[in-house]
Amino acid sequence: SLPASLSCSSLTLLFRLLSICNFRIWLSPLIQNRPLQHYTPNCLCVRPYSSDQADISRLGHFNSGYLVTHEHATAYRSVANGALSLSWQIFIRSTDCDRTLMSAEANLAGLYPPEGQQMFNPNISWQPIPVHTVPESEERLLKFPLTPCPRYEQLQNETRHSAEYINKTKENWQFLQMVANKTGIRDVSLDSVWSVYDTLFCEQAHKMDLPVWVTPDVMARLKQLKDFGFEFLFGIHKRVEKARLQGGVLLDDIRKNLTRAANVSAHLNLKVLAYSAHDTTLVALQMALDVYNKIQAPYASCHLFELYQEDDGNFSVEMFFRNESGKEPFPLTIPGCQHKCPLQRFLELTDPIVPQDWKQECQVASTIHDTELFVGLAVCGSILLLLIILLLTVLFRIQSQPPGYRHVSNEGEEQA
C-alpha cells in the first residue's frame, strides 16, 4: 500500500480500480444490418482502424490515460516519489477483443510514458505494459450478458411480457416496422434495435453518407430506444435478481479486490486494477449498483472505484463515472450511503446483489424440480428393483429346498 504519509484531504488513497473502462475504438460493421446496395464497392472497403475517427478514438484513449496520470500528480509523485508511475503497480485485464486490447494499450501508453532507463529508443515515447486476457469461450467476468444462464433468459422473457416493455413496444410499433422495412432486417424489436443505431452512429462518425430515411429525428428516436434496450438487458423487471446473475459477478470480484487492498497484512504492491471491456459491462455493473443513468456509456468512459484510509484507520470507498472528456469525473453515490461510503457499509449494501453460487442460481426452478424428481424416481426404482431381486432370491431358495417329509416305499418288505 502507499505510505501512510500520502494523504489527500486527510485521506490516504490506497487503491484505485478503473472498472469498467468502456474501451471501444470507433468501429463500423459496414456490411452488417444494412442494405448492401446502398454503398458502392469502394465504400465497403473502408478499413475499420484506418479512418481519421479511429485515430481520434485512439488519441482519446491516450489522453484518458494521460489525464489519469496527472489527475493526482502532486499528491502521488511529490510524496510517493513517483510510486504510481511504476508500471508493475498496475494490473489490467481485457476481454479478448481486438478493440478492447488495442484501447487498453493506448490508455497505458498515456498512463505510463517511459522515463530514464525505460526509454529503450529515444524516438519512441512508449514502454511495453502487459495486458491480460482469457479466450472468449472462457470469459466469465467482463463480457455481458453472461451465458449460458437459463434463469436469466427466463427473466428476459418475463421482462418482454412486463407492462413497461409492452407499452413501449406499442408506442413505437410503427416506427420499428419502418426501420425493419428500410434496413431489410426481419425482426427489429426494443432489445435488438440498438444494433441498427450502433451501425448508423459509427457510419456517421466515419463521415459516411447516411440513407435518406435516417433524419436527425429518426436518429434521436433510435438513440432513445437503444438506451431502453440497454436498460432491458439488466433492469425493468426483477433488477436485483438480474444483477445477481450478471453485474453482481463482476461486483463480487471488485469487492474482493477492495477488501484485499484494505488488508494491511497483505502488503500489496498493486495500486491500480483496470478492466478493459464494453458498454454492456458498464451497464451491467451500474445497474447492479443502482447508479445507472439510463444512457449508453460513450466511448472511453470509465467507472472508477477509489479506496481510502482515513486518519482513524477506517476505510472508505468513493465511486466516479468519467463519461466526458475535458471534465472531472462525476461522483456516484450508492443508494443507502454517502459518496464517501465506509467500506464495511459498501460491502453490506452490495451483498444482496452478489451471487453465492452463480451456476446454481442460473438454473431454472422447474429444471431443478425436474432434476430432483428424476433423482427421486431413480432412487425409488433402484430400491424397488433390489426388493424384487431379494424376493425372487427368497422364493428360489424356498423352492429348491427338499420337503420336510418324504414317502418311503415298502415294496421290498412285502416281497420278503
**Residue 267, pLDDT score:** 53
The C-alpha cell at 85 is: 508511475
pLDDT in 10s for each residue of the chain, 416 residues? 333 333 333 456 666 776 556 654 333 333 333 333 332 222 222 323 334 444 555 555 555 555 554 443 333 333 333 444 466 788 899 999 998 898 888 888 888 888 888 888 988 888 999 999 999 999 999 999 999 999 999 999 999 999 999 999 999 999 999 999 999 998 899 999 999 999 999 899 888 999 999 999 999 999 999 999 999 999 999 999 999 999 999 999 999 999 998 886 655 677 888 999 999 999 999 999 999 999 998 888 889 999 998 888 899 999 999 888 778 889 999 999 999 999 999 999 999 999 999 999 999 986 545 556 666 777 787 888 888 888 887 777 777 666 555 555 555 555 54
What is the domain partition of the chain in residue ranges? 10-24+46-147+238-391, 163-236
Of 3.40.50.1240, 3.40.710.10, 4.10.320.10, 3.30.565.10, the CATH number of 10-24+46-147+238-391 is: 3.40.50.1240
What distance in Å separates the CA atoms of residue 300 and residue 62, rounded to the nearest whole number? 10
Residues in the chain: 416
Question: Taking a C-beta distance cutoff of 8 angstroms, is the pair 296, 226 a contact?
Answer: yes
pTM as predicted:
0.75
Task: For strands 272-276 and 11-21, give the pairing.
Answer: parallel
Q: Is 85 helix (H, G, I), strand (E, B) or coil?
A: helix
Cell of 281: 459491462
Burial 320-336 (b: 16+ CB within 10 A, else e): bbbbeeeeebeebebee
Extended strands (E) in 285-380: 302-310, 315-322, 330-332, 341-342
Residue 270's Cβ-side half-sphere holds a number of Cα atoms within 13 Å equal to 18
